[in-house]
Structure 1
Amino acid sequence: MSEVHGGGQSPGAAAATGPESVTCHEDLVRLLAEQFARADVSLRELQARADRSGGTRLPRSTCADMLAGRRFPKKAVMVAFLRGCRVPDHDLPAWERAWDRVRISRLPAGAWDGRASPTPTGTAPTSAAAPAGPAVDEGGRRRRAVLTGDGRGRRAVLTGGGRRRAVLVAAVAVPAAAALVLAVVVALRMTARPEAPPERVPDQAVDPDHIVTDDGRAFPRGGSSRFTVSVSPANTGVRLTRRLDAGVGLQHATITVDGAPAAHWRPLLEDGVHKWRNQIVDLPPALTAGRRALTVVNECVSASGFNEFLYTVEHRINGVWSIADKVDVGPDHPESEAAHDYRVIGGDWAHHQTFVYPPRKEDWNVR
């Protein structure tokens, strides 16, 4: 079974009862600060613990920005921070799901309209530019102004020579970066105004039907999964639909049915924003007709590995497709795995994920 999230609370409304109550960045920051206080440890010691573990590094400045709410952390950084605070491993999945919910809520508008290219989380749209402060300090010395108009955090140097020189420098770069010129002009205009905090880009509403939490498994190249499904012997065709995490790109696996080569899970390009996909594969009728049960083996042949969360089996009878069986993969579904004699060889991941499907439902299914 998968869990579809709906509803929501206003920022700060979640009770500080645990990561499952998190609905926004402010909630996450508050709970992380509480864990830090309970751990009664310094940022220097957290950094040392992470270094000793050999995992994700925890620079003190990164932790300070995370605890102050100035920076939305990467998931690996947050997990390393919690481990440094001695949070038990069995509690970490709830924190990861909280991080996923906050990340999805922070996705910019361009990621949802199905036309514009996704803007990286935490950056302003292309039409906006916000300077990090005055271009010139009190002594006329050089200062840097951060220009986010190109969505990549480029920096332009504004010197004490004044606006004319800065505009001239920007104009020379027009052939290579026209967008940067506009950002410089906006920055110059802003220096004549009182310094003000940058305008916050509002969080965008996400259709709750597109957000799904599901558990699954993954295995590397050379690993495989195996399961047996039921179909009608009167079938004239069978197809498999696999829910996968498309945030891992170029997954490729071979498919055999009762030991005979049948098809391929072809590689799909990575999608780091809308990660859920349903990939469909048709099995040869010669391998399925007249059979009540099919044993399917997926063997990974790609360096990126292979993941699986849910298999839906459809069969065609008298020209009509209908659902014949489902295999719900993951550590939370031992009954489904046992009923289908599911086995995995070389598995290296078994966990939950909370992701979103693409804005248009016709883009959910791929072949």
Structure 2
Amino acid sequence: MSEAPQCDQDPRPSGEATEGGLESVTCHEELVKLLAEQFARADVSLRELETRADRAGGTRLPRSTCADMLAGRRFPKKAVMVAFLQGCRVPGHQLPEWERAWERVRVNQMPAGFSENRSVESSHDTPLAAQVMTAPGDPGTPRATGRRWRRAALLAAVAVPAAAVTLSVVIAQSATPQRGASAGAPDHVVNLAHIVSDDGRAFPRGGSSRFTVTVNPANTGVRLIRRLDAGVGLQHATITVNGAPAARWRPLLEDSIYKWRDQIVTIPPDLTAGRRSLTIVNTCVSSSGFNEFLYTVEHQVNGVWSTADTVDIGRGHPASEAAHDYRVVGEDWADTQTFAYPPRKEDWSVQ
């Protein structure tokens, strides 16, 4: 597991915060990308950022606000951005450059010929579509007249597709490191990755999980696919199917950059043929522990592989766990992780 930085230290080399062209930032997307880089470098969760801001006693940093800011869905108030950077331990002497970048972006967002009806700071973290401008010489009450076309003009001028921003950086939100699940992002930026948030569970050596899935009795083969956090290396577990030894989850080397993997295990056909349900038990035999987020069960029928069942693990999916009679013994971690799959899809799955 990676080690979280000390709260009174900046986890980056001196001067690194402005690397990447902060002084040339002029649009929302560029600012969002650099903010996400600081978040990844800080190796901290959104929950911890919120706690740090509360302890500082200044501008609050609700997790939802930070998440929307990092995804490009909302343009933040300057004070929110500064509090976010302070929570990421950006040195104070670098903050004025960030504020100047924020001001350039804010000015460039304003359509030509328009003036704000409120001060720049009043935007806070209001959705971009709801920030209303007032045209000079506009007849009648500004807030009552021309509201629809003003919003349309603003949307056309400043909306930034969240998907494009999300694909450009890894926003590594993680819980406090605990056994069985890794810490957050590494000390550098990951670009052009497939980002997924999912909740799961973990247990140590001697712990186990159990669930029941359905398959077609006419199957001639079954594959079990587990989404895991590969930031925890060398996870090893045995698999039984309906009480009989079936296979093993072989240990994988740790990947501290692209942490999501889909590991595939093939179940012997003699344990699955003619059966409508399979009760699967995973028992951890490694000192590193064992984590699980999602199971996909595929079966081969008439020579064609297809999905037979899925089991979504985690506190956020009680219906799925109940439907599959999911049970865990010795659980020592349960939370949500946000990581990236490798850039190439062929590297997502491993045997």
If the length of structure 1 is used for normalisation, what is the TM-score? Answer: 0.51
The equivalent position to 1:228 in structure 2, one of 193, 199, 212, is 212
Q: Is 1:11 matched up with 2:31?
A: yes
Task: Quote the Cα distance in structure 1 between the aligned partners of 2:191 and 2:85.
Answer: 31
The structural deviation recorded for 1:274 is 0.5
The DSSP-based 3-state class of the residue aligned with 1:332 is coil
Which structure 1 residue ranges, 5 or more long, are not aligned?
1-7, 38-62, 72-99, 107-119, 123-202
The structural deviation recorded for 1:101 is 10
Q: Is 1:104 matched up with 2:88?
A: no
Aligned to 1:190: none
Alignment of 1:190-269 (within 5 A): 205-207=191-193, 210-269=194-253
Task: Quote the Cα distance in structure 2 between the aligned partners of 1:253 and 1:64.
Answer: 37
Q: Name the structure, 1 or 2, with higher relative contact order (CA <8 Å, separation 6+).
A: 2
The DSSP-based 3-state class of the residue aligned with 1:22 is helix
Task: Quote the Cα distance in structure 1 between the aligned partners of 2:218 and 2:83.
Answer: 60
Task: Quote the Cα distance in structure 2 between the aligned partners of 1:330 and 1:322.
Answer: 24
Aligned to 2:349: 365
Which amino acid counterpart does residue 328 of structure 2 have in structure 1?
V
CA offset digits 1:141-180 (Å, max 9, x no partner) = xxxxxxxxxxxxxxxxxxxxxxxxxxxxxxxxxxxxxxxx
The structural deviation recorded for 1:23 is 1.4
The equivalent position to 2:92 in structure 1, one of 50, 53, 68, is 68
Alpha carbons of structure 1 residues 28 and 242: separation in structure 2 relative to 1, 3 Å: farther
Which amino acid counterpart does residue 224 of structure 2 have in structure 1?
L
CA offset digits 1:62-83 (Å, max 9, x no partner) = x894463879xxxxxxxxxxxx
Alpha carbons of structure 1 residues 341 and 30: separation in structure 2 relative to 1, 3 Å: farther
CA offset digits 1:253-279 (Å, max 9, x no partner) = 000001111000000000000100000
Q: Is 1:304 matched up with 2:288?
A: yes
Which amino acid counterpart does residue 327 of structure 1 have in structure 2?
V
Cα pair 2:216 2:276 within 8 Å, conserved: yes
Cα pair 2:208 2:330 within 8 Å, conserved: yes
Aligned to 2:334: 350
Alignment of 1:1-367 (within 5 A): 9-11=29-31, 18-23=65-70, 31=80, 34=83, 65-66=89-90, 68=92, 104=170, 121-122=187-188, 205-207=191-193, 210-367=194-351
Which amino acid counterpart does residue 121 of structure 1 have in structure 2?
D
The DSSP-based 3-state class of the residue aligned with 1:286 is helix
Cα pair 1:251 1:268 within 8 Å, conserved: yes
Task: Quote the Cα distance in structure 1 between the aligned partners of 2:207 and 2:275.
Answer: 27
Cα pair 2:227 2:293 within 8 Å, conserved: yes
The DSSP-based 3-state class of the residue aligned with 2:307 is strand
Regions of 4+ moved over 3 Å: 12-17, 26-37, 63-71, 100-103
Which amino acid counterpart does residue 68 of structure 2 have in structure 1?
S
Cα pair 1:262 1:284 within 8 Å, conserved: yes
The DSSP-based 3-state class of the residue aligned with 2:346 is helix
Which structure 2 residue ranges, 5 or more long, are not aligned?
1-27, 36-59, 96-165, 173-185
Task: Quote the Cα distance in structure 1 between the aligned partners of 2:269 and 2:290.
Answer: 25
The structural deviation recorded for 1:319 is 1.3
Cα pair 1:229 1:294 within 8 Å, conserved: yes
CA offset digits 1:302-331 (Å, max 9, x no partner) = 000000010000111111111100000011
Task: Quote the Cα distance in structure 1 between the aligned partners of 2:231 and 2:336.
Answer: 14
Cα pair 2:209 2:327 within 8 Å, conserved: yes
CA offset digits 1:178-226 (Å, max 9, x no partner) = xxxxxxxxxxxxxxxxxxxxxxxxx77525xx11111111111111000
Task: Quote the Cα distance in structure 2 between the aligned partners of 1:321 and 1:12.
Answer: 41
Report % sequence identity.
60
Which amino acid counterpart does residue 282 of structure 2 have in structure 1?
N
The structural deviation recorded for 1:242 is 0.3
The structural deviation recorded for 1:297 is 0.2
Alpha carbons of structure 1 residues 243 and 27: separation in structure 2 relative to 1, 3 Å: farther
Cα pair 1:217 1:350 within 8 Å, conserved: yes
Alpha carbons of structure 1 residues 290 and 213: separation in structure 2 relative to 1, 3 Å: same
